[in-house]
Structure 1
């Protein structure tokens, strides 16, 4: 079964000014990421505004990414929904559409205990083929429900097709606990962009990164340097990645990601209400900061562009 690894990009969902899905933008973004050398694609997660999309919109976006990718990269579709029924509908659609696997966020908003969480994932696992890989997705600061080490351990041992975990909270001790509690071939990735290099040094397989969807270059370079055991250069490149993570607000406001894509000649477009697009003043500051960062990092295959302020 395929696994996520290296630079796995959590894709934004391009939208038009009237907040409809921009399918041309989805295709253009997919091609851009393939060309820039990321390793895997992960659309329709938090960065993709998953719960602000309808089930049908999510299906159409999944189809567009898979079709545009043309089997060039590994594609895992995030299929987590507000109910088990919705999750299973999206999971089966991903399987039928040709996804390499799925990610499934824990139950969200409404409190769920360990038994409920285990049963949720087991129902999904048992409803899908044994060879169709599933990643658990733990983002407790947003979901409100944490995946305990014991739950992850049990699911990894009992569900053949649950092959990995995306952990999107910057907690090194917990990452280490996950690594120690699960089988050697169980795949764990950090969802905290700034922990990419140190997480790999601990034994993780990579990062699921939203910022790499706008500026993949430093992340691709970190993984290249790490793979070649160029530790000091990898550390410096992670520091550079951390700067652009900060400039783009680490995805706290998805409009920064989308404006960044617009500036790069892609189609990020609008966020969907109730979130708002950044103001003209915020855009001015973003351009200034990105111009400075790109000037200082002209050695990492960034296009030679300057954003007019």
Structure 2
């Protein structure tokens, strides 16, 4: 079973002028990210506005990314949905179309207790082939439900295909607990882009990063330098990555991602209502900010 690792990019979902999913733009974004050296792709998560897409739309995006990637990088499809039935359907579809695995966020918005969360993950894990890997996904600040370590451990104990977790909250005490699941044989991917290097130092396998959808270069450089034991370079690259995180609002508004991608020559389309594209003034301010950063790092990266 393939694990996630390194720079796993959480992809935006491009919508056209009429609010429809634009699969041509999905293809071009996939090619752009592969060309920049990311290690894995993770479409249809939070960065991909997943809850605003229908099941059929999500299937179409999943098929497009898998087909375009053509086994050049690892592709995990985020399958978590607002209902357990939709999550199971999307998980099975990901396996059928040749994805390398899935992620699944905890139940969202409606409060779920530990028993309910455990049973939810059991239903998803048991619905897919036993050798098709799955990552749990905890983002309590958005989902409003927290996946406790002991619950994750119980799920991993029961299902061998539950091999890891994406944790998108800046709590390193909890991160360390996740790293101890299965005696330390549990893949942890951190989702807090600004903490990529310290997460690697703790033992995480990598990051699932939204910012890297726009600027993959500094994140790839952090990972490469860390693997080469060049901590001084890794720290410098992390500082550059943090500048882009702050300019792009740390992933709190995907409209910044899509505007910034256009500045890079990648048309990532529009936001889907009720969220809106940036105003002209916001877009100009972002362009000015990014131009300043880009000028500083142009000797380091080909931006």
TM range (shorter): over 0.9
Residues 203-240 of structure 1: CA distance to partner in whole angstroms, max 9, x if unpaired?
10000000000010000100110010000110111011
* Matching of residues 41-56 of structure 1 within 5 Å: 41-56=41-56
Q: Tell me which residue corresponds to 2:14.
A: 14
Residues 139-186 of structure 1: CA distance to partner in whole angstroms, max 9, x if unpaired?
000001000011011112221100000000011111011112333321
Secondary structure of the structure 2 residue equivalent to 1:183 = helix
Q: Tell me which residue corresponds to 1:158.
A: 158
* Matching of residues 1-309 of structure 1 within 5 Å: 1-303=1-303
Unaligned ranges ≥5, structure 2 = none
Given the two structures, how large is their TM-score scaled by the length of structure 2?
A: 0.98
Residues 96-143 of structure 1: CA distance to partner in whole angstroms, max 9, x if unpaired?
000000000000011110001001101111121110000000000000
Distance (whole Å) between structure 1 residues aligned to residue 123 and residue 253 of structure 2 = 33
Secondary structure of the structure 2 residue equivalent to 1:268 = coil
- Given that 1:170 and 1:192 are in contact with CA atoms closer than 8 Å, whether structure 2 keeps it comes out as yes
Secondary structure of the structure 1 residue equivalent to 2:183 = coil
Secondary structure of the structure 2 residue equivalent to 1:145 = coil
Aligned length: 303
Q: 1:22, CA displacement in angstroms?
A: 1.2
Alignment RMSD: 0.9
- Given that 1:156 and 1:183 are in contact with CA atoms closer than 8 Å, whether structure 2 keeps it comes out as no
Distance (whole Å) between structure 2 residues aligned to residue 150 and residue 33 of structure 1 = 35
Given the two structures, how large is their TM-score scaled by the length of structure 1?
A: 0.96
Distance (whole Å) between structure 2 residues aligned to residue 53 and residue 250 of structure 1 = 23
Distance (whole Å) between structure 1 residues aligned to residue 18 and residue 183 of structure 2 = 47
Secondary structure of the structure 2 residue equivalent to 1:41 = strand
Residues 57-108 of structure 1: CA distance to partner in whole angstroms, max 9, x if unpaired?
0000000000110110000000011111101110111000000000000000
- Given that 1:217 and 1:300 are in contact with CA atoms closer than 8 Å, whether structure 2 keeps it comes out as no
Distance (whole Å) between structure 2 residues aligned to residue 241 and residue 122 of structure 1 = 37
Q: Where does structure 1 differ by over 6 angstroms across 4 or more consecutive aligned residues?
A: none
